[in-house]
Structure 1
Amino acid sequence: MYSAIFALLSLVCSARGATLLRGGTFITYSESSSNLEIITDGAMLFNDTILAISDTIDGLDSHLNDQDTETVNTTGKIISPGFIDTHRHTWQTAMRTLGPNVQLENYMWLFGTTGPAPLIFSPDDIHITSLMGTLEALNAGVTTSLDFAHVTWTRAHAQAALQGVIDSGARVWWCYNVGPVVISGDPYTVNTSAPIDQLAHIRELAKDSPFNGGLVTLGIAADPPTAEIVETAQNNSINVITAHDVEGPFGSGTGVITLVNNLTPGSPTLNSSLAFVFAHASLFTPAEARLLREFNQYVSITPESEMHYGHGHPASYLIQDQAALGVDTHFTFSIDIIGQMRIWLQSTRLGLYQETLDRFKIPSNTPMTVRQAFLLGTRNGGLALKRPDLGVLKVGAKADVLVFSTDAIGLIGWSDPVAAIVLHSNVADIEDIYVDGKLVKKSGKLIVDWQGEGFADSLRNIAVKFREALAKTNIAAFEAGVKKSSGVTDQDLQDPFQVDVTRGDGTGF
């Protein structure tokens, strides 16, 4: 099944010559100013890599008659680098709308990898839900994702999830999760020896990585990483390790950033060519901020997730120079980085405005700009992966390119292209998408015929299967098991204040 789908996608995304985008407004990046540079009525030539950018519409016209160059009229449009999502659990697509009011505590035994999912989803299910999760991100302009794949319950599940992201045509760091695996719900039983075979499987897969012409790269995910995991990465040319970092009442007391840095006695682990990406890092310490800056490692801020689940991000605005953005569990809320840029920008503004208001003063400037938010969703994602050639439009960068139509009623009259994208655009405004120079979305539609190939029907069936199985599951057994393994007791829990939105009786809750 997987090979047939892969052949189809390879055909529609087959290699082609150069592309010349002629006209339009380009959001480029200048190394000399370390900032965005806007080019109006420019042109850009690329194959898998950006070959030339002109600040005039006719500056690259010498290529108009090249036999292997396709010219695209982008007059009036906005051309942007592709977005980068540095924390996503792609396999959870089939759970969509099941967790609109879930918080982190009960997510773990309902929808997380410590819940019943390993006992319900088949490898074929995981292939489809991973493929569709990656395609929906791609459709939203996310050309690069860091997939924290905690779906590696068996080798078959792991292989299916990996094949799903390969088949999508997106650029993905697929991070194989190393950790215990649930093998029974009642009684709640976990195989704590699973990492032995998981690491062996990683070493086997690493021989073939990267996959799909370099678009999909093997990484490792773990909570937390161990010295053996770091050694496995170093010995098998794996360049990314990612981990969750949620401390405070959720954590163990030792920050994950600190823990990881101390894995190799006598030498700071973070002082490495490996990219370490810490998801959330909601309650990092000043010492950990210094470590991130000293060794150039990054956190992934997932604004909507941290609001939705309740683990927060009280000080994350202080580490944005070593941060990028992520979506996290896309089955519960927005799937796109546009939304994360917008939410993070406005919530950061609110918090810092409030500090000024609390001093009985009037804010006289903005604490954060749209350009800064845009950089978090593009260039900083590339830097988090130690790939400065991603998330930017500049000569020598990979040609991951978005073309925004500006004909929609919500964009007519724009003058600032960055503000237009961050504060006014939506996914439907993304007209064309190129990944590695290949056209994967044209005129607002993915090249992959995901409906015609039956992927949508398959995903619907998988979603129904999961809902029905979840309804029959003894969730109390999972809850007790997860609480026991995490050390959480009822004394650690407290209901937050609940709002009332209904006049008179009732609250609307």
Structure 2
Amino acid sequence: MNRTLLTGGTVVSMDPAVGDLDHGDVLIEDGVIAEVAARIDAPDAEVIDATDRIVLPGFVDNHRHTWQTAFRGVGADWTFPEWAVAMHGTVKPRYRPEDVYVGTLLGRLEALHSGVTTMLDWFHCALSPEHADAAVDALRDTPGRSVFCYGAGWGGTDPVDAEIRRVRSALSGDGPVTMALGLRGAEATSFDTVAEELRLAAELGLRTSLHVESDGTRRPVGDLHAHGLLRADTTYVHANGLADDELRMLADTGSSVAISPDVELKMGFGWPMTGRVLAAGLRPTLSVDDVPSAGGDLFSTLRTAFAVQRGLDGGLRSRDLLEFVTVDAARSCGLDARTGSVTPGKDADLILLRADDITVFPVTDPVATVVSHGHPGLVDTVLVAGRVVKRDGVLVDVDLRSLRTRLLESRDRVAAAAGVPLDGTWRPQP
């Protein structure tokens, strides 16, 4: 048996039955958490000294578009219509499978580096089957837990049944990369198509995810409800502008909501729905969305969501926020039996944050510190299913120099083919 002992850390388990430990040990056996206690005697285990470390479940991001990683930061000033024209109308048509691969690989590694052990990659660059395969290959080549959410045919109305089945046949197990279906929605297709895609997802055992929002004149969730198309295993992304009764429909169905506060505020979606989602009886989750417009770490996302909601109504506590990116997000991905808390029997998806770093020292309240002061520089160690994938602040067995070169080459080639500048003057015209 392969045994690892994390010893002497401040354990924030996110499991009420386990609780938190000021000084505690976590024993891992064959990739699974075996025991959490104040002191564990395991003389035959490999020891990882967690002194001056906060031991947490790895973060879960349930909505990110990693294929866009090469264009990080170029859309900081863009509205949503500008982003759509730029990313989907201008650069995406120039993407080759190898561009998808390196962008997805670096994007997933960035998330892992920042403590995201589980990530749903919402893929809507499906220009060909080869593009989809490249994204899957990149996720498989990254030592994290990933959900490939395949938005086949996104933005179009062509049938996607055969392609979804093809990819599903290659992702039919319960390994580190699993599959979900990204729905196109009735606005892009029709209610009949949504119903067909939901039937396909049910047949193939896939959870689904759908981008949805309203300007106050439309009722997208109400319309889905009227057609009998709400499902417990669907995550609704953004949800800005939905009416209170629509949120209650989602709660009654058992659905989940993924909120991307940085992107939503910057792009003009409206106020993040965190408080209203909670009031409706739902557990919100948080996501990065896309790095052309916002930072790629969930620490920043936590702070934005926290500050905005506290400013709106004084609600939320720091532990709420931490639940959103651990147990609640794991549940939204259908992975809560495997990850999301430091619970015996779950896979050892864990992160160790430096509590002695000058930016957080002294740590009096570890939960509040993570939410209000956390940043990727604190992520010292990351384990996925008990495997150490980041140690002493460095990703294990990753040639970042070579990958950086490949990503720059990809960005420059795509930009040149699309005829767009990379000097900060690019302003797409919707």
Q: TM-score, normalised by structure 1?
A: 0.77
1:19 aligns with 2:1: no
1:281 aligns with 2:239: yes
Q: Deviations over 1:179-219 (max 9, x none)?
A: 356xxxxxxxxxx45x42x32121022123246x6111111
Structure 1 pair 306/344, CA: closer, same or farther in 2 (3 Å)? same
SS across alignment from 1:207: helix
Which of the numbers 61, 85, 88 marks the counterpart of 2:61? 85
1:374 aligns with 2:348: no
Shift, 1:299, TM fit = 0.6
Q: Which residue of 2 aligns with 1:144?
A: 118
Q: Deviations over 1:415-468 (max 9, x none)?
A: 21111211122101110000111111011011132325x211000111112222
1 CA distance for matches of 2:295 and 2:177? 24
- The letter of the residue matching 1:100 is A
Percent identity reads 25
Question: Which aligned segments of 4 or more residues in structure 1 are displaced greater than 4 angstroms?
Answer: none
Structure 1 pair 472/50, CA: closer, same or farther in 2 (3 Å)? closer
SS across alignment from 1:279: strand
- The letter of the residue matching 1:258 is G
Which of the numbers 132, 139, 150 marks the counterpart of 2:106? 132
Q: Assess if the C-alpha contact under 8 Å between 2:14 and 2:57 holds in 1.
A: no
Q: Which residue of 2 aligns with 1:495?
A: none
Shift, 1:314, TM fit = 5.5
2 CA distance for matches of 1:237 and 1:271? 13
- The letter of the residue matching 1:96 is R
- Which aligned pairs between 1:32-47 and structure 2 lie closer than 5 A? 37-46=19-28, 47=30
Q: Which residue of 2 aligns with 1:110?
A: 86
Shift, 1:40, TM fit = 1.6
Q: Which residue of 2 aligns with 1:487?
A: none
Q: Which residue of 1 aligns with 2:166?
A: 204
- The letter of the residue matching 1:75 is T
2 CA distance for matches of 1:156 and 1:178? 12
Instruction: Give the greater-gyration-radius structure (CA).
Output: 1
- Which aligned pairs between 1:99-498 and structure 2 lie closer than 5 A? 99-111=75-87, 113=88, 115-179=89-153, 192=156, 195-196=158-159, 198-210=160-172, 214-224=175-185, 226-238=194-206, 240-248=207-215, 253-255=218-220, 257-263=221-227, 268-272=228-232, 275-313=233-271, 315-320=273-278, 321-353=282-314, 367-389=315-337, 390-452=339-401, 454-471=402-419
1 CA distance for matches of 2:310 and 2:100? 39
SS across alignment from 2:340: coil
Q: Assess if the C-alpha contact under 8 Å between 1:179 and 1:222 holds in 2.
A: no
Shift, 1:29, TM fit = 2.8
Shift, 1:134, TM fit = 0.6
Q: Deviations over 1:313-344 (max 9, x none)?
A: 36431213321000001222211111111111
1:96 aligns with 2:72: yes
Structure 1 pair 234/24, CA: closer, same or farther in 2 (3 Å)? same
Gaps of 5+ in 1: 1-15, 182-191, 354-366, 484-509
Shift, 1:228, TM fit = 1.1
Structure 1 pair 418/379, CA: closer, same or farther in 2 (3 Å)? same
Q: Alpha carbon RMSD of aligned pairs, Å?
A: 2.2
Q: Assess if the C-alpha contact under 8 Å between 1:280 and 1:313 holds in 2.
A: no
Which of the numbers 43, 48, 51 marks the counterpart of 1:64? 43
Q: Deviations over 1:155-189 (max 9, x none)?
A: 111111111111112111111113356xxxxxxxx
SS across alignment from 1:29: coil
SS across alignment from 1:97: coil
Q: Assess if the C-alpha contact under 8 Å between 1:278 and 1:298 holds in 2.
A: yes
SS across alignment from 2:19: strand
1 CA distance for matches of 2:410 and 2:223? 38
Q: TM-score, normalised by structure 2?
A: 0.90
Shift, 1:387, TM fit = 2.6
1:28 aligns with 2:2: no
Structure 1 pair 397/308, CA: closer, same or farther in 2 (3 Å)? same
SS across alignment from 1:248: coil
Aligned pair count reads: 413
Shift, 1:133, TM fit = 0.6
SS across alignment from 2:141: helix
Q: Assess if the C-alpha contact under 8 Å between 1:296 and 1:322 holds in 2.
A: no
